[in-house]
Amino acid sequence: MIKRGNHPNYALTYSVLTLAALTVIVPVLWMVSTSLKTMVEMFTIPPVWIPKVITWEAFSRIWVDYPFGGYFWNSLVVVASATLISLAFSALAGYGVSRFQFRGKGVFLTFLLITQMFPSIMLLIPYYKVMRTLGLINTYTGLTLAYVSFTIPFCSWMMLGYFQGIPKELDAAASIDGCGKFRTFAQILLPLTLPGLAATAIYSFLVGWNEYMFAMILTTSENMKTVPVGIGQLIGQYRIAWNDIMAVSLVASVPLTILFLFLQKYLVSSLTAGAVKQ
């Protein structure tokens, strides 16, 4: 059998993969190296890989000289709320669409797909206006609602894919045992979709944690900014402190990496399930 073949061409495989891995690792190491440098050493020609003086000051400066503690808190609150809301709504919708026939189902599914097609900036302008009118600029609620609007559609697709993989006989059995529709969903089906929920949660977290444009426009006050906006504004400054920027960039990438390490199996299979079944 050739698939995952018994005789891969090791030399070729390893050289291509090593090259690819280097293009990923070298920039990341460069980030680490920069974040450990002093201001002086950061600006040397040619650049040094291993700084003579290794300092962790950049990592402490980001909490002391810049309000990154606050930015992280804002990001966490907004993204966690958006993720919880998306999970609840998309689990319900995924179950509903996978189990029942009803008028408008096709329209709903098509609509979910179409939301992936429009430029988010199309929503940004009306959001800016509406949120200003409602006083939601600079609030957690405002940003959370914005994030929910782009996560619910894709999350619903992911959950739908997941529910479709669970045999309908389970529902039938539960209903014979006298379970109501909602209890069947909450007590029988939902626990079985935990991997799907986990995947959907990371997806939603990833989207929110990375989002930059909406956060930049919908938050104007210093104490409401999110991590990406906080990082982004560091390059506006006269003398760019690349060591600080790289330090905070590394810290900002940690939550996603941890989440992914634990849950990657679920995420990958769910993303593909959606793609394959679509």
Partner 1 sequence: MNSSKTKTQWSGYWFTLPAALMLGALVVYPLLYGFYISLFDTNLLFRWNFVGLRYYLEVFTNAEFLGKILLTLKFTFFTVAGHFIVGMILALLLNQKFPGRVFFRAVLIVPWLFPEVVVGLLWKWMLNPMYGLFNQFLQDLGLIAGPVSWLGNQETAFISVVIAAIWKGFPLVMILLLAGLQAIPDELYEAGQIDGASRQQIFRFITLPSLRSVLMVTLILDTVWWFKHFTIIWILTQGGPVNATSVVSIDIFKTAFEYFRFGQAAALAVVVFFVCFLIGYVYRRKLGEDDD
In the complex, the smallest distance separating the C-beta of residue 56 from partner 1, rounded to whole angstroms, is: 19
> Which residue from 74, 83, 156, 219 is in contact with partner 1, where contact means CB under 8 A?
156
> Which residue from 50, 118, 176, 221 is in contact with partner 1, where contact means CB under 8 A?
118
In the complex, the smallest distance separating the C-beta of residue 45 from partner 1, rounded to whole angstroms, is: 6
> Which residue from 11, 119, 178, 238 is in contact with partner 1, where contact means CB under 8 A?
119
- Considering the complex, state which of residue 1 and residue 176 has its C-beta at the smaller distance from partner 1: 1
Check binding of 82 to partner 1 (CB under 8 A).
no
In the complex, the smallest distance separating the C-beta of residue 176 from partner 1, rounded to whole angstroms, is: 14
> Which residue from 115, 138, 139, 164 is in contact with partner 1, where contact means CB under 8 A?
115
Check binding of 239 to partner 1 (CB under 8 A).
no
**What character string, x for contact with partner 1 (CB under 8 A) and - otherwise, covers 133-152?**
------------xx-xx--x
Check binding of 236 to partner 1 (CB under 8 A).
no
Q: Whose CA is closest to 185, among 100, 76, 62, 68? A: 100
> Which residue from 69, 110, 129, 237 is in contact with partner 1, where contact means CB under 8 A?
129
- Segment near partner 1 (CB under 8 A), from 3-11, 61-69, 76-84, 190-198? 3-11
In the complex, the smallest distance separating the C-beta of residue 244 from partner 1, rounded to whole angstroms, is: 11
> Which residue from 127, 203, 205, 266 is in contact with partner 1, where contact means CB under 8 A?
127
Subset of 13-72 contacting partner 1 (CB under 8 A): 13-14, 16-17, 20-21, 23-28, 30-31, 34, 42-47
In the complex, the smallest distance separating the C-beta of residue 94 from partner 1, rounded to whole angstroms, is: 9
Check binding of 108 to partner 1 (CB under 8 A).
yes
- DSSP sequence for the chain: -TTTTSS--HHHHHHHHHHHHHHHHHHHHHHHHHHTS-HHHHT-SSPPSS-SS---HHHHHHHHTS-HHHHHHHHHHHHHHHHHHHHHHHHHHHHHHHH---TTHHHHHHHHHHHTTS-THHHHHHHHHHHHHHT-TTSHHHHHHHHHHHHHHHHHHHHHHHHHTS-THHHHHHHHTT--HHHIIIIIIHHHTHHHHHHHHHHHHHHHHH--HHHHHH--SGGG--HHHHHHGGGGSSS--HHHHHHHHHHHHHHHHHHHHHHHHHHHHHHHHHHHH-
Query: 230 is written with which tokens?
Result: 């906080």
Q: Count Cα neighbours of 245 within 13 Å in the Cβ-side half-sphere.
A: 15
Check binding of 120 to partner 1 (CB under 8 A).
yes
In the complex, the smallest distance separating the C-beta of residue 274 from partner 1, rounded to whole angstroms, is: 8
Please answer whether residues 195 and 266 qualify as being in contact, where contact means their C-beta atoms are separated by less than 8 angstroms. Answer: yes
What lies within 8 Å, CB to CB, of 72 at 6+ separation is 227
